[in-house]
Chains A and B, each alone.
Chain A
């Protein structure tokens, strides 16, 4: 090794190659730093600008006065986000996991290939298009509301749940399955009582990440939930609010009071989404050991 090293420094061509190597490695480090910089700036600025307006009133009050005025809060947005996110989870998680079970348990079915391919493709559907779809299918007939908003979020979650659940179900060791069959369990019993419990932590991780993604969506809600100025508990028919909707609306407003609320709302939303994502990954990691 030392002989090779001394040979390398003797030739100037070799020295040039070593220099290029160092230069390129340096550039790669810069690329990595370049990606981290926006993250630091986004989280840092959101915390710094969001904190001054973040207080108990912001979390527990609504505002139905002019956007020029200071005060009030995004309670209606938080309630709407959680309401629609919860609905979306109720729809997308069972359907998504069952679809993943279909993909892993019935690999020879003729529809397995197309289902896998098109659920992949669905992850690339622009979220605004999902909003338009729910608008044409339902909003035209039954109006804006919590349910249609939740449904549009569910459609966005669905392919994410399918993909992540399929990955996880695939990781369940075949031995567990064979042990279950050896005890006389049928296919459905094996899946329900052995495979799914073994994969449960991973399924939870994937589902939580999907919920986090749905909570941050704005565009589909513009077309389905529309807006609300107070806390709305109606299931359908009344406009509903959400944190991203309120941030979007006040971010573009010219009033500093509104922009301040938008930053506080962004801080609230970011905490919600990041905590969900981090906890989800933590659950997933603990299991894989």
Chain B
């Protein structure tokens, strides 16, 4: 008898914890949105998203300042775009190397090393980027770029010590493990029979990749890119250390900027209650964007068929 009642209890506990996960997500959305509502209401959603003035007030109870997220949204999209543009070719290259070129003795250790890259905390990326990588490696590159292409507003100098470019590159390094892990799974899922068919008609290895592996994997690569982009959008601490807290939309990537996430951690502790609400409104905006991208990416990757999914997590 107790054993049978045990089954009922078991079912109940398991279902409850599953539903708890859903409830938590709902609570996350509800609690933050409710908290930020006065900000959206006083600023107007469209003005909040597109305006470029952030002038925090000091009230405890009402919203007296001007809160517009345009500058931070621009910085977020720009740094993440730089990261994706740089990270995707490299990640696809690594994934192709791992699935099509490397032998098992290279593959295992290389996968483990790239996993380690993903395990390093973002504050260490930030510290390393700020005090080593940016001043010693990236600065000469930035100066050369702005020297050669300085006429283009995007690359206009002088190169400031904190800038969008540095943040974008460090973000790129951080999302390589995510994109390459998913891309590799997608490539490995290509049936060997198709590769063999191409080899049988005389294709070289590169031709097999170009005409069999890559075309078949396109949705998966797009999904992986979007997941990487989503991760870059939400990445906080490394960017907060590197980007420098700019307050205007600048054309040049060698000038300081600001992202939504960085703005939140950089100003939270000195913000009055109304400004904290505004930061929460920023967070809600960031959440909405990343979740939309994530859901779309997962739908695309899932349509590829059932990958083992470990990399997607």
Q: Which residues of A contact B (CB under 8 A)?
A: 4, 17-18, 20-21, 24-25, 27-32, 34-36, 38-39, 41-42, 45-46, 49, 95, 98-99, 101-103, 105-106, 109, 111-112, 114-115, 117-130, 132-133, 135-137, 140, 155, 158-160, 162-164, 167, 186-189, 191-192, 209, 212-213, 215-219, 222-223, 226, 244, 247-248, 251-252, 259, 262-263, 266, 269-270, 273-274, 277-278, 281
**Contact between chains at A106 and B97 (CB < 8 Å):** no
Name B32's contact: one of A136, A213, A251, A274 (CB within 8 Å): A136
Q: How far is the CB of B265 from chain A (nearest CB, A)?
A: 5
Q: Report how far A103 CA is from B241 CA in the complex, Å.
A: 40
8 A-B residue pairings within 8 Å (CB atoms): A18-B204, A25-B205, A38-B173, A121-B298, A123-B313, A129-B284, A223-B265, A269-B123
Name B28's contact: one of A42, A119, A130 (CB within 8 Å): A130
Add 5 more A-B contacts to A95-B20, A133-B27, A216-B121 (CB < 8 A).
A21-B206, A99-B17, A164-B313, A218-B122, A248-B241
Name A36's contact: one of B91, B113, B202, B313 (CB within 8 Å): B113
| Interface residue tally for chain B (C-beta within 8 Å) | 101
Chain A hits for B3, CB < 8 A: 186, 188-189
Q: How far is the CB of A203 from chain B (nearest CB, A)?
A: 14
**Contact between chains at A132 and B17 (CB < 8 Å):** no
Q: Report how far A195 CA is from B233 CA in the complex, Å.
A: 39
Chain B hits for A114, CB < 8 A: 22
Chain B hits for A36, CB < 8 A: 110, 113-114
Q: Report how far A99 CA is from B20 CA in the complex, Å.
A: 9
Name B207's contact: one of A21, A29, A49 (CB within 8 Å): A21
Chain B hits for A186, CB < 8 A: 3-4, 6-7
Name A103's contact: one of B11, B18, B231, B284 (CB within 8 Å): B18
Q: Quick one: which of B240, B280, B298, B313 has the most chain A CB within 10 A?
A: B313
Name B10's contact: one of A38, A135, A191 (CB within 8 Å): A191
Chain A hits for B265, CB < 8 A: 128, 218-219, 222-223
Q: Does B54 contact A (CB under 8 A)?
A: no
A95-B17, A129-B234, A188-B7 are contacts. A31–B89 as well, Cβ < 8 Å?
Answer: yes
> Which stretch from B60-68, B130-138, B139-147, B188-196 is at the chain A interface?
B130-138
